[in-house]
């Protein structure tokens, strides 16, 4: 998907960088949202709580039509 996105940047418009930033932010918030339940657990769990204030904008980022994951 990354390679299929136009790499041209004009001013503040840079679709490929927006996509990369969206994916990086999504992965980071997946890791940060995980709550350790017991010993030997932790890390990314593949879940995002879109209702949490720190995750504002992530849902729009991945579902805005440009990045249909």
Query: Does the residue 20 lie in any domain?
Result: yes
pLDDT at 45: 77
pLDDT of amino acid 69: 44
Q: Examine residue 6 and state whether it is found in any structural domain, yes or no.
A: no
8, pLDDT greater than 90:
yes
Residue range 33-43: mean pLDDT, rounded: 63
In-domain check, residue 3: no
Instruction: Say whether pLDDT at 40 is over 60.
Output: no
Query: Is residue 18 included in any domain, yes or no?
Result: yes
| Torsion sign across C-alpha atoms 27, 57, 61, 68 | positive
User: What is the per-residue pLDDT for 10?
Assistant: 95
What is the Cα–Cα distance from 23 to 59, expressed in whole angstroms? 11
Task: Classify 10 as helix, strand or coil.
Answer: strand
| 7: in domain | no
Range of the domain at 65: 12-36+43-69
| 61 lies in some domain | yes
Decide if 22 is inside a domain. Answer: yes
Mean pLDDT for the stretch of residues 31-58: 75
Domain tally, the chain: 1
Q: Is residue 55 part of a domain?
A: yes
């Amino acid at each position: 998907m990354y390679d299929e996105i136009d790499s041209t940047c004009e001013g503040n418009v840079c679709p490929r960088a927006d996509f990369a930033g969206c994916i990086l932010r999504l992965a980071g918030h997946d890791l940060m949202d995980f709550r350790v339940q017991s010993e030997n657990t932790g890390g990314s769990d593949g879940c995002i709580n879109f209702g949490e204030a720190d995750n504002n904008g992530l849902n729009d980022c991945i579902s805005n039509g440009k990045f249909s994951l």
